Amino acid sequence: MKRKIEVLDKGFVEFVDVFGGDSTVAKIARISYMSKPDPQGDRRLIELLMANGHESPFEHIVFTFLIKAPIFVARQWFRHRIGSFMERSGRYTKFDEEFYLPSNERANGYSDVMKDQMHAAFETYKKLIQAGVKKEVARMVLPMSLYTQWYWTVNARSLMNFLNLRADKHAQHEIQKYAMAIAFFFKESCPWTYEAFVKKSYKGDLLEV
């Protein structure tokens, strides 16, 4: 399976690990009725769970991703609070001059203006650090387009909620791109759960089986 997908101009989503899978969901769901394992019926059971909104068993699949994205994308992402985040520290690390620059079309012809402003902000950041200002203070001049990185550990139920909201044409363009990368890894790791989700529960309009 592909482990890393490039996103935007300098970002990425990297698949780190997954605990559990389609068979895990079916096994855990059967505790409700103390029913016996039935590998042949797992796919049908997963679809039934999804169709009826019985989502608790999907919490037992847990993913970890490493993500590199602009800060404004990160701030939208972190609003999905049922998950664990660990972001790089601007107090203890010095940022590189890595900014997301939208296309000229998306910036209504002003991408060069944006680029100049980002560069000027980073030059100020460097001057402040060279002057002895602490990194935790100097970073205050940096714009939201600066790239950051974080680990995201999330169960499949919460991941599906993320996709409902972000893999949708109403979400901001940039986070849509990241959501599609997350969906790719979801589908590769748990194909039956992914298919059942898209067919029975998905509220967005970008994903396909």
What does the DSSP 8-state code read for residue 95? P
Q: How far apart are CA 29 and CA 12, in angstroms?
A: 34
Q: How far apart are CA 165 and CA 58, in angstroms?
A: 18
The encoded tokens of residue 138 equal: 């100097």
Radius of gyration, CA atoms only, the chain: 20
Residue whose C-alpha is closest to residue 75's, from 170, 159, 178: 178
Cβ atoms of 189 and 18 within 8 Å: the answer is yes
Q: How far apart are CA 156 and CA 18, in angstroms?
A: 10
Q: How far apart are CA 143 and CA 116, in angstroms?
A: 12
Q: How far apart are CA 133 and CA 73, in angstroms?
A: 27
Q: Choosing from 30, 43, 91, 166, which is the catalytic residue?
A: 166
Is residue 166 flagged as an active site residue?
Answer: yes
Neighbouring C-beta atoms of residue 4, cutoff 10 Å: 14
Residue whose C-alpha is closest to residue 13's, from 126, 205, 175: 175
Q: Which residues are catalytic?
A: 166
